[in-house]
């Protein structure tokens, strides 16, 4: 039986870090993830962990120190948000190509400008092609649980992993949460035993090569393979976590999808609001459902197609915009997955919502389902690129 607590999402993640007691943390403050290194440095200074904390002078250096420390043979962690994630972008690519399973907690926040501290997914989506594994949480409990699973997943495939939650919505809101006992966490996460590392006196190692066209593409192909292999690892680790705690995890979560005719594909905390909307509409006899994407990288293409193939209409909800003039990033991936697997019957629309912390209410989601009902009834999609709850 776990330990019943009430924690903010940031504190829950910091608590998971404390239970794991990693070797090195390099971090720089930025709203709304600041609390994570704050809580953690308190654990360090009170001797509750023996992690080495590096209070770096920027996010770029935070990720640079993590790369150095993980390459040296340690578990390295960091936390960031928004512009901080942008600032470390260059190093995110290096971490992935060096195949260093660093763990990064992200409390997602909008990007400037206008400058805004509230939640959307522009930061995480902006680095979606950096080669990192990316898990998203709906609740504080999921942020905590995802963090406990992250190192197992990243270290199994040799890729760094981002554990994303929604800034303020879960990072600062306090919810009831069930924690796992320390000894169970330590047994579940295990020790980090890298095959090769810098501080191995018996085998010097060189990290960060220059690769000419003769070798560069093979390096990238191996990264792609690791990302594909990660799907199976995420499922297995999620199932094992379920046996330990009673809370199982998969790549996606299907909610009322068995007979659904209209569906949403959504990520993060707004899935909770959408589930409540589904409950209300189901009570009215409407066949609606939703697919919550937990793993955005690797992208669960087959699973989403399987979930959507029988619906009449769906909306992909993007809490950010690609500014490509026609859709959000997740819509592009969902529809590409459908097309690639020859599924063309469901009508899809792209919805951009909740930018810069714009409130997402049950009424907002009801409106989307109302439009999907019209599309399902008429077969006419109309404008596929839509903004929700915006003054035009």
Partner 1 sequence: MSYNLKEELQKEDRLSGGHRMCAGCGSPIAVRTVLRALNPEDHAVVCSATSCLEVSTFMYPYTAWKDSFIHNAFENAGATMSGVETAYKAMKKRGKIDETWKFIAFGGDGGTYDIGFQSLSGAMERGHDMVYVCYDNEAYMNTGIQRSSSTPHFADTTTTPYGVAVPGKLQQKKNLTKIMVATASPMPPRPPLSATSPTFPTRPTRPSTPPARPF
Give contact residues for partner 1 (rule: CB under 8 A).
23-24, 26, 50-52, 54-58, 60-61, 64-74, 76, 90-91, 94, 198-201, 204-212, 215, 219
Show the tokens assigned to 287: 């066949």
Strand partners, 291: 254, 265
Strand partners, 53: 25
CB-wise, 70 or 295, nearer to partner 1?
A: 70
What gap in Å lies between CA 38 and CA 55, rounded to an integer?
10
CB-wise, 66 or 290, nearer to partner 1?
A: 66
**Rounded to a whole number, what is the largest CA-CA distance in the chain?**
70
Q: How far is the CB of 13 from partner 1 (least distance, A)?
A: 20
CB-wise, 43 or 249, nearer to partner 1?
A: 43
Q: How far is the CB of 199 from partner 1 (least distance, A)?
A: 6
Helices (H), 246-315: 270-283, 301-308
Q: How far is the CB of 23 from partner 1 (least distance, A)?
A: 4
CB-wise, 205 or 343, nearer to partner 1?
A: 205
CB-wise, 61 or 295, nearer to partner 1?
A: 61
Residue 221's contacts (CB-CB under 8 Å, 6 or more residues apart) are none
Instruction: Give φ, ψ of 342 to 5 degrees.
Output: 75, 25
Strand partners, 288: 262
Residue with tokens 């709304």: 32
Q: How far is the CB of 102 from partner 1 (least distance, A)?
A: 10
Q: Any idea what DSSP says for residue 203?
A: S
Q: How far is the CB of 194 from partner 1 (least distance, A)?
A: 11
CB-wise, 219 or 377, nearer to partner 1?
A: 219
CB-wise, 4 or 193, nearer to partner 1?
A: 193
CB-wise, 76 or 133, nearer to partner 1?
A: 76
Residue 114's contacts (CB-CB under 8 Å, 6 or more residues apart) are 356
Q: How many residues does the chain have?
A: 392
Q: How far is the CB of 40 from partner 1 (least distance, A)?
A: 14
Q: How far is the CB of 27 from partner 1 (least distance, A)?
A: 12
Strand partners, 263: 289, 314
Q: How far is the CB of 68 from partner 1 (least distance, A)?
A: 3
SS3 of residue 358 by DSSP: coil
Tell me the pairing of strands 52-55 and 24-27.
parallel
SS3 of residue 9 by DSSP: helix
The 10 Å Cβ neighbour count of residue 226 is: 20
Residue with tokens 């960091």: 78
């Amino acid at each position: 039986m776990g330990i019943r607590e009430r924690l903010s999402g940031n504190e829950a993640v910091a608590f998971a870090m404390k239970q794991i007691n990693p070797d090195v943390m390099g971090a720089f403050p930025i709203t709304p993830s600041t609390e994570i290194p704050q809580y953690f440095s308190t654990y360090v200074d009170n001797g509750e962990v023996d992690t080495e904390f590096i209070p770096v002078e920027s996010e770029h250096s935070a990720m640079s120190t993590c790369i150095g420390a993980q390459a040296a043979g340690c578990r390295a962690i960091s936390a960031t948000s928004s512009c901080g994630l942008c600032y470390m972008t260059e190093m995110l690519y290096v971490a992935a190509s060096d195949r260093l399973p660093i763990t990064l907690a992200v409390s997602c926040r909008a990007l400037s400008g206008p400058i805004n501290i509230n939640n959307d997914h522009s930061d995480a989506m902006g680095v979606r092609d950096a080669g990192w594994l990316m898990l998203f949480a709906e609740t504080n409990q999921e942020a905590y649980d995802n963090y406990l699973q992250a190192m197992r997943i990243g270290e199994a495939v040799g890729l760094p992993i981002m554990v994303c939650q929604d800034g303020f919505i879960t990072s600062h809101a306090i919810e009831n949460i069930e924690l796992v006992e320390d000894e169970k966490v330590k047994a579940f996460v295990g020790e980090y035993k890298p095959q090769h590392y810098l501080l191995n006196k018996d085998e010097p190692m060189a990290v960060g090569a220059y690769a000419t066209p003769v070798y560069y593409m093979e390096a990238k192909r191996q990264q792609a393979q690791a990302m594909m292999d990660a799907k199976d690892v995420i499922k297995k680790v999620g199932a094992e976590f379920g046996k330990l705690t009673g809370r199982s995890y998969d790549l996606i979560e299907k909610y009322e999808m068995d007979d659904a005719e209209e569906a949403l594909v959504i990520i993060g905390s707004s899935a909770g609001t959408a589930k409540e909307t589904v409950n209300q509409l189901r009570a009215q006899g409407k066949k609606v459902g939703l697919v919550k994407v937990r793993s955005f990288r690797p992208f669960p293409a087959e699973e989403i197609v399987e979930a959507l193939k029988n619906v009449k209409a769906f909306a992909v909800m993007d809490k950010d915009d690609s500014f490509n003039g026609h859709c959000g990033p997740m819509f592009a991936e969902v529809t590409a997955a459908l097309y690639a697997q020859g599924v063309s019957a469901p009508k899809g629309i792209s919805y951009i919502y909740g930018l810069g912390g714009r409130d997402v209410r049950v009424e907002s989601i009801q409106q989307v389902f109302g439009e999907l009902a019209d599309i399902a009834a008429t077969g006419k999609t109309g404008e596929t690129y839509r903004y929700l709850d915006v003054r035009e």
